[in-house]
Structure 1
Amino acid sequence: MTEPEFLRTTRVFYDTVAVDYADHFRDAMDDRPLDRALLTAFAEQVRAAGDGPVADLGCGPGHVTAHLNALGVPAFGVDLSSRMVEVARRAYPGLRFDVGSISSLDLKDDSLAGVLAWYSIIHMPEERLPDVFAEFHRVLAPGGHLLVAFQVGDEPLHLARPWGHEVSLDFRRRRPDHVAGLLGQAGLAVRARLVREPEGPDTAPQAFLLARKPAGSAES
């Protein structure tokens, strides 16, 4: 099967910038207490539901995966970029990191207590989102939790030549109500949503949606 162009472009971009990206964002959580609070709430929900594994989908260099693990949930990371996975494995040798796509996960049905999609839907074309959210629903156990983060807006941001590398990529902004509607169509009930204003290097408001796979929705 031919790989979709958006996957190839995204992989090449992050393979190219992996080391610089890791250096730049390693301490990104330090001055974002609200973001940390949301991750803490997500971790507490997962632990309350049974403390099963959590997949950080689109984990990049692994710093958020490690943060989740420090919060007491057994987290592992999945990323499209093999270079990102190499960087994550070097930085956090005690954690698991796999190469994979969020639209086609090599995970069993109903196998996860939690899914974190921390800015990992931002390169996904609009028409692919229903399939991605259906995949999240498939791998979550009944009662499992989901946290999605993304930039708010209607127009994409085009990033060219980051850190001097000859690559570019579009970052797709989205509206929280629209994403919440798509999650609902996939069988994931949105339980909380938050939009915070830009801070630091942000160029747009940031959205966070907490959702849950209903306890009675085991895969048939």
Structure 2
Amino acid sequence: MTEDEVLHAYAARAAEYESLLGSVEDMGELDRRRIERWAGGLEGPGLTGPVLDAGCGPGHWTHFLQGLGLDVSGVDLVPEFIRSARVRFPNVPFRVASLRALDLPDGHHAGVLAWYSLIHFAPTELPPAIMELRRVLQPKGRLLVGFFEGDSGEPFDHAVTTAYYWSVDEMSAMLQDAGFEVLDVESRQVPGRRPHAAIAAVAAVARSEKTS
């Protein structure tokens, strides 16, 4: 999928998406607990700085993280989502941005949430996107990725537009190649839904950063 194709597909169904999935109350309880547990880890020693909800959609998870006391902002490719998020959650900063080029300084963020926001990247496009998330994270910054678990790189007909499955092993390998250390992995299958997986990872400290 090209970025323009994803943008237009979501823009055409933004109102429908928000009505069905635009609230934390519409999300599964296990998802809420998982994200809350990850957010708690951002208060560890040596971690300071803002948190980014990368691919925030209509902003519900961004607002949720702010409610947990985090300095958080949201970015999304779809202007319709950002306009709605700004109206619904006026105290949270949102802006339109591509995950391919975030226009943010290197090493500035303590955490990045990428909750189902990488699912439309084709296999050749996903590693550079993960590298961009690593770029904006400070050493020891935390990442949480949620995705559909399955045969790596296998496309499927998502409700909005083509998405891709990834195995936990392959997603973990891409994270490690981008400079992350995997902290923990979760997989689960809810009847009637596609298999879910989540990986929490930490931005590894480069040798140059250790000696500087």
2:203 aligned with 1:213: yes
Q: Contact 1:29–1:35 (CA<8 Å) still a contact in 2?
A: no
Aligned pairs for 1:1-220 (under 5 A) are: 6-29=2-25, 32-49=28-45, 50-154=47-151, 155-159=154-158, 169-199=161-191, 203-216=193-206, 218=209
Q: List structure 1 runs of 4+ shifted beyond 3 angstroms.
A: 27-31, 215-218
Letter in 2 for 1:203: R
Q: CA RMSD in A?
A: 2.0
Deviation at 1:28, TM superposition (A): 4.8
Letter in 1 for 2:202: R
Deviation string 1:125-165 (CA, Å, 9 cap, x unpaired) is 101111111111110001100000001113422146xxxxx
Segments of 5+ residues of structure 2 without an aligned counterpart are none
Distance, in Å, in 2 between the alignment partners of 1:43 and 1:216 is 24
Letter in 2 for 1:9: E
Q: Contact 1:190–1:212 (CA<8 Å) still a contact in 2?
A: yes
Deviation string 1:150-201 (CA, Å, 9 cap, x unpaired) is 01113422146xxxxxxx51021111110000100111111100001125xx
Q: Contact 2:112–2:144 (CA<8 Å) still a contact in 1?
A: yes
Distance, in Å, in 2 between the alignment partners of 1:48 and 1:98 is 27
Q: Contact 2:24–2:32 (CA<8 Å) still a contact in 1?
A: no
Deviation at 1:13, TM superposition (A): 1.0
Distance, in Å, in 1 between the alignment partners of 2:27 and 2:97 is 30
Could you say if the C-alpha distance between residues 31 and 109 of structure 1 is closer, same or farther in structure 2, counting changes exceeding 3 Å? closer
In the alignment of these two chains, the number of paired residues is 207
Deviation string 1:36-57 (CA, Å, 9 cap, x unpaired) is 1211121111122434211111
Q: Contact 1:121–1:150 (CA<8 Å) still a contact in 2?
A: yes
Distance, in Å, in 1 between the alignment partners of 2:27 and 2:81 is 23
1:126 match: secondary structure: coil
Structure-2 residue corresponding to 1:163? none
Q: Contact 1:188–1:211 (CA<8 Å) still a contact in 2?
A: yes
Per the normalisation by structure 2, the TM-score is 0.91
Distance, in Å, in 2 between the alignment partners of 1:141 and 1:72 is 19
Distance, in Å, in 2 between the alignment partners of 1:85 and 1:55 is 14
Per the normalisation by structure 1, the TM-score is 0.87
